[in-house]
Every structure is written in C-alpha cells, then in structure tokens.
Amino acid sequence: MKIIFHEEEGIFHLSNEKLSYIIRIMENGQLEQIYFGKRIHDREGLSHFHEEALRSQMSICIPEPGKLSLNYTRQEYPGYGSGDYRSPAFVIRQENGSRVSDFRYRSHEIFPGKESLLPLPATYVEDPDEALSLKITLFDELTEAELCLSYTIYRDYPVITRNARFLSQGKGKLYLERALSMSLEFPDKDYQLLQLSGAWGRERYVKKRPLEMGLQGIQSLNGTCSGAEQNPFLALLRGNADEFQGEVYGFSLVYSGNFLAQAEVSTFDLTRLMLGIHPEGFCWELGEEESFQTPEVVLVYSDQGLNGMSRSFHRLYRKRLMRGKWRDLPRPILLNNWEATFFDFDEEKILRIAKKAKEVGAELFVLDDGWFGKRNNDYQGLGDWQANLEKLPDGIAGLSRKIEALGLHFGLWVELEMVNKDSELYRAHPDWLIGVPGRFESHARHQYVLDFSRQEVVDYLYEEIAKIIRSSFLSYIKWDMNRYMTEPYSRALPAERQGEMMHRYILGVYQLYRRLTEEFPEILFESCASGGARFDAGLMYFAPQTWCSDDTDAGERMKIQYGTSYVYPIVSMGSHVSAVPNMQVYRRTPLETRANVAYFGTFGYELDLNLLPEEEIEEVKKQVRFMKEHRELLQVDGDFYRLKNPFEGNETAWMVISRDQRRAIAAYYQRLNYVNASAIRLRLRGLKPDSLYALSCDLSPCLSMRKPIFGAEFSLEGEGLWSYRAYGDELMEAGIPIKREDLSRKGGDFASLLFLIREEGE
C-alpha cells in the first residue's frame, strides 16, 4: 500500500497489491485521471498517458501554443464552462450569476488512516496502518473557494474511497447547485453497465446494458430514501466479464437520499462515470468559512468477475462500515407478528404467539405496527409513540418483561419519520409536516412526512423513543419508513435555503440514528423502508441489517437476494420464512425451500406458528437448530458466491464458504419442474482443489420412492442424510450431480437442495 507523489511530473500514484489509481496535475493546474485498474508498477514518466490532439471546434483552456482542451481530457473532477461540454461534477453559482469555476492545485497531504466524515456515514479504519489517505486541495482565486478532494486506499481490500469538500473563504455568498461525490473517466466505452432496479416487492433486480454514446444512468428523487426503484450502485464490466472472470469496476454511494449515478460516453468514446447527490432541487448556500461535504463513494476493482467485486464489498462493509456490538456477531433468530396479526392483536394473542416461538427455539420476538396511540389501522395514530393500553394494559415496559420471562428477547417496530393527520402529534404541531403552504399535501399510505431538517423534530422523536427504551427490556428495533417525499418544502427554512431541505432531512435521519445507537449500543437496529427502499450503504453504518423486501415469497426472494448480494453482504439482508399462500403473490412454496432461501440472510419467521400442523412445527424446530449451528459461517465468517443466476434461467444456486476454505454450505433451487429433462451438475467455487471434502444432503422427503442414484460412493447416514466424498477440484470443475427425480420427490416446483461440505478432518 503506497501513495507516491512524483513532484516533477505532478503525478500521484495510489496502489496496493490489487489496484492502481493515478492522478496528474495538468499544465492549467487542474487534475487529470490517468489510470484506474489492476496494479501497475510505479515509475517516472507516466504522464505519457495524457493525450492531446487538435480537433475541430475544440476550445483550448491555456495560452497558445498550448492545445489542452478539457472536452477531450479525462478530468478528475470536472466543471462546466471552460470548453468541456459534457456533464460537470459540480456547479457553483456566484453572486454575479456566473457558474464558471477554475479550481487549480494548491497543495496536498498524505497521511496514514482515514478521516471521519460525520455527520455523514462512511467507511472507517480501526488502526491507521490499515489505510493511506490523500487530500488534494485546489483553489479558485476569483471566488476564493477551496475544493478538497479526498482519497483513501485500503491495505487489505481492492478499494479506494472518494469524497469532495467545498469551503468558501471569500466575503460574498456562493451557491453550490451541483456537488457530486465522484467523477471518473475511462479511455473507451467497451463496457456493460450493471444496475440494480425494480419497485416495491421486486427490489434490486439485475439489469445490464452496453455503454453507448450519450447519457445512461439511474437516479432517485424520492427525498426520504434512495428508493426501491434504483439502488445507489453501478458496475462497469469488460466485455468478457461474468461472475467468475474478467474486469469489473464497482461504485457504491454511502448515502440514503436523492442520488444520481450516470455514465456519459462522448463521441470520442471517453466514458465519464459520476455518482453523488442528485442536483435536481439541490442548492446549498455557502457564506464565508462555510463548507459542504459530499457523501463517500466506494470504488472496487476486480479482475475475478462480479463475484470478486462482491466479496470485496462484503468484506469491507461487514468489517469497516457496520459498527458496534452486532458487527461481528451472528444475528438472533426472530419471530415477527406482522403477517400473523396485522393490527388485530392484544397482549394475550401476542404472548400466545411468543410462547410458540420460544417452543421452536426462536430467540427474539418482535412486536410490529399497531402497539401505539389509536393505531387500529393505518389511518390513525402514527406519531403518537405511547403504548395503546387497551391492547397492552401494562404498556411496552410490561409486555417486554413478560416476553423476557418466557426466555425470549423483545423487539419493537417504529416509523419515526411519519405521521397521520389523525394523531395527537399532528394536532399539536401541524407545521412539522413537509409541505408547501397553500398547496395540496399529497398523501401516501394515509400518512405524511415529518420535517427532519428541523432540529426540534429530531429532538422530540429522540426523547419519545428513548423514553420507551429506557423503561423497557428492548434488544431490537425495526425502524420503518413507508413513503416518499412530496411537496418538498420546510416551513423553518428561508426561501434561499429551500434547496438544502432534502439533504438536511437525511442528515436529520442520520443524527437520530446516531444518537440512539450511541445511547443504546446493545440494541440491534434493522432499517426498513416499505420493504427494501432504503437498502443502501449509508443506513448500514447505523443499522447492520435491512429488511430486504416486503415480498417474502421464496421464489421472488431468490431474485431479490441474488441482486442485493452484488454489493451488500448477506448478513445485512432481513430474510424470513412466511406463511403460504404467500400474501404478496399467493403462491405456495415448500416450507423447506422457504427456509433454504432465508438461511442466506438474518433468518426468522413472519407467521403465527400456532397455525402450523405438528409435522411442520417439527420441521421448524429442525430449521432453527440448523441455523443456530451454521449461522457463524453464514453470517460472520463466510464468503458468498453466486453460482446460478435466476434472471437467466430456471435455476438459482449460491454458496457460502469459510475463509479457511474448510467448510461450506451450498444451495440449489429450481423454479418450475421439468419432465424428461437433462441431468444437472452444480459446480462449486472457492474450495481447495487438492483437499478431500465430505458432502451431505438431506433427502428425507425422497426416501419412500428413492432409487440408488449416486452409486456405491454414496451412503445413507442417519435419517435421510445422504453423503459422499470428493476432491475440491472435482466439485469445482465436474460439479455435484443432481438428479431431477429428487427434485420431483421434494415437490417439483420450487424444490431445493442444501449441501453441507466439510474438509476431511474438519
């Protein structure tokens, strides 16, 4: 890990064992992006990567006979107005109306470790030796504005992080109208763009398209969150790249609000990729000595395909984005009452469900919506965070003690950012709503958005929820957020600062999370946003897991969890077993498959176990025992590999393998059954080629009709457990033979198989 400055050439070279990132100071004092990719040797003379040529209609930004034209230069952080006609990374409006800036190199600093960006979330280090950082300071003489571009390169990850900070040092006012976190340029367009797109119930579907001249990108203008429609992540794939080979560049924004992620290809095939806060509706006023800090972008390079990129994101985010007690701990197996009761419950019903959860081995009971105010439906009560004593005579404090007495921990659902108009909070503070005076206030889910850009709103909600926590036995909080922002306007901000409201809102959310997690570090927070509309790296800093989607159907969850895994670790995915027919798609899937999908996440149940027949209760007990035995591998220690893509066929497969490559769990799922079909080989990944592994698979549902299909090498061990032994190279190159007869005997449609793999001697 090095950051080298070649003073004579004005070149910065950031490198570790996996990657290089090279920046050059151009002759006009601005910065040029020379190279980002696989590690190359450092040497003098790398400035030859700068390219110039006389072109028709080019605007030259230095005196003659120079020929530097910004439109044909791979700039590090470009502005607009001096001959570059592509999209800029920033725009500063000055008091005279000009938007032309000229930031030139002034100084730089190289130091060990990494600075905090609080109040913004960001990755971090625990030891300065883990990373090196570079801060390049640029200055615009006319506006007396400073621009600081910050970079951190990690020692143990093929990762660079970037952010930008603007500081006004003049006496006039500046108006920052665009401030993206990153701009990065590639010398060609031979890439495919990968994004995660969807909607409620089908979040983070994988979409790919080739880059072409012009603009292509994704965005969120939802105000309250990054959104279910697009995720703040992009990847660029070289033409031959797939899950296991080829070059991939991944970009993840550590932010939870409006964002823009855009690739722009010029007519000379230069590709400019940008990521940051969306400029639509954004304007930040800077007075003398006032600054603005952009969120962080995490850049990952992989020469081992998409799986290689994902493993880097997973390892970094598990260890250097998540924080606190729960970062390194397996997650408790929970039961949530929402799909079991909705709003229709009382204490007796809740305790009956909780007792059954304890009987099967669950560790945490979570009380969802409906426990507060007059909350008997979603028209009323939201915002009144006092227990409904008609439902819960002893309040949350009393119920939590009774749940604890059963031998379970207790968790609670909240939706702190929202309010119903039929609530005591709204009647007391109608001005706390986001909305434009005199305009109709659009509603969604019969609720409205509280103005978290106002400190008094954040303070009030902090005291309300902290009061409940202090008086109760609480181990877990599910923080929901169920609507996007409309009529974005704060009654507390002056007209010239309305463009700051949506970013200030997100800062208010972060502040409340930070205050609660600092006062109550033992509590496990799970973020949620009408399902998975807030599944981003920004919230992961405060809440180490996120409800992945309201769609709990196992068949749909294969796609949702597969797409989510491109950037987010599986321990961050809230994944539960729910009842059938599924309430979102009305599909029936086997209980075994529902668990086999949910294992690859936080794991829990979203149903009333009292309604299951006894044979299914016994199966649930078996599932809970399995998860307790293997969750350390699945959630804490293991690396996740995607094996078969549900977006490209009828099959899904993935696996988790321990970092020492001695233990693994692989899962195979089919969507619809085939008749008279070909055989299946499931090829694994990440094993030691020369090690002998023992495999086992529970085929107990097949035993009554079983024919010997594995030959003499396979043996029956115990009740329905079939096993055999094979070397790692065989399992990775030839694969595991799977018989379609076994899938048919397991139910056919939506059948699944789970393989336990251990190195001999383990």
Report d(CA 228, CA 201) in Å as an integer: 9
Q: Give the residue from 360, 364, 355, 354 showing the smallest Cα distance to 334.
A: 364
Helices 455-471 and 395-405 sit at what angle, rounded to 10 degrees? Answer: 40
**pLDDT, average across residues 120-146:** 98
Among the listed ranges 325-329, 345-349, 602-606, 742-746, which one has the minimum average pLDDT value?
742-746
For residue 581, is the peptide bond before it cis, meaning its omega torsion is within 30 degrees of 0? yes
- Whether 35 contacts 51, CB under 8 Å: no
Helices 591-598 and 614-631 sit at what angle, rounded to 10 degrees? Answer: 20
Q: H or E segment at 191?
A: strand 191-197
Report d(CA 372, CA 424) in Å as an integer: 12
404 pLDDT exceeds 80? Answer: yes
713 pLDDT exceeds 50? Answer: no
pLDDT for the residue numbered 719: 52
- Rounded to 5 degrees, φ, ψ at 543 are -120, 110
507 pLDDT exceeds 80? Answer: yes
pLDDT digits (tens, 9 = 90+) for 222-238: 999 999 999 999 999 99
Report d(CA 527, CA 516) in Å as an integer: 13
Cα end-to-end span (Å), the chain? 35
Q: In this prediction, what percent of the chain has a pLDDT beyond 70? A: 97
- Whether 650 contacts 672, CB under 8 Å: yes
Report d(CA 634, CA 658) in Å as an integer: 8
User: Token digits for 353?
Assistant: 């469900």
**pLDDT, average across residues 320-324:** 97
Cβ within 8 Å of residue 63, ≥6 positions away: none
pLDDT for the residue numbered 317: 98
pLDDT for the residue numbered 721: 73
712 pLDDT exceeds 50? Answer: no
Write down the pTM of the prediction: 0.96
Other beta carbons within 10 angstroms of residue 435's beta carbon come to 21
Binned at pLDDT 50, 70 and 90, residue 81 comes out as: very high
Report d(CA 261, CA 266) in Å as an integer: 17
Binned at pLDDT 50, 70 and 90, residue 703 comes out as: very low
CB-based contacts of 556-560 (< 8 A; 24+ apart in sequence)? 556/201, 556/202, 556/584, 556/585, 557/597, 557/598, 558/597, 558/646, 558/652, 558/669, 558/671, 559/202, 559/205, 559/646, 559/647, 559/652, 560/198, 560/202, 560/203, 560/204, 560/205, 560/532
pLDDT for the residue numbered 710: 41
Q: What is the DSSP letter of 674?
A: -
**pLDDT, average across residues 573-599:** 97
User: Token digits for 62?
Assistant: 């230095």
pLDDT digits (tens, 9 = 90+) for 537-563: 999 999 999 999 999 999 999 999 999
pLDDT digits (tens, 9 = 90+) for 27-61: 999 999 999 999 999 999 998 888 888 888 889 99
pLDDT for the residue numbered 57: 83
**pLDDT, average across residues 412-435:** 98
pLDDT for the residue numbered 50: 87
**pLDDT, average across residues 285-306:** 98
pLDDT for the residue numbered 741: 87
Q: Confirm whether 480 is a catalytic residue.
A: yes
Per the DSSP assignment, residues forming a β-bridge with 560 are none
pLDDT for the residue numbered 745: 85
Report d(CA 337, CA 353) in Å as an integer: 8
716 pLDDT exceeds 50? Answer: no
706 pLDDT exceeds 60? Answer: no
pLDDT for the residue numbered 720: 64
The mean predicted confidence, pLDDT, of the chain is 95
707 pLDDT exceeds 80? Answer: no
Give 87-114 as a DSSP string. --SEEEE-TTS------EEEEEEEEES-
Report d(CA 364, CA 368) in Å as an integer: 13
Which residue type occupies 297?
V
Alpha-carbon 208 to chain mean position: 19
Binned at pLDDT 50, 70 and 90, residue 761 comes out as: confident
Burial of 456 (0-12, 13-18, 19+ CB in 10 A): exposed
Report d(CA 641, CA 696) in Å as an integer: 19
pLDDT for the residue numbered 722: 78
- Catalytic site residue from 84, 303, 368, 480: 480
718 pLDDT exceeds 80? Answer: no
- Catalytic site residue from 140, 384, 550, 608: 550
Q: Is 395 helix (H, G, I), strand (E, B) or coil?
A: helix
pLDDT digits (tens, 9 = 90+) for 136-190: 999 999 999 999 999 999 999 999 999 999 999 999 999 999 999 999 999 999 9
Binned at pLDDT 50, 70 and 90, residue 675 comes out as: confident
Cβ within 8 Å of residue 427, ≥6 positions away: none
- Whether 401 contacts 474, CB under 8 Å: no
Binned at pLDDT 50, 70 and 90, residue 399 comes out as: very high
pLDDT for the residue numbered 213: 97
Q: In this prediction, what percent of the chain has a pLDDT beyond 90? A: 92
Q: Give the residue from 336, 201, 232 showing the smallest Cα distance to 568.
A: 232
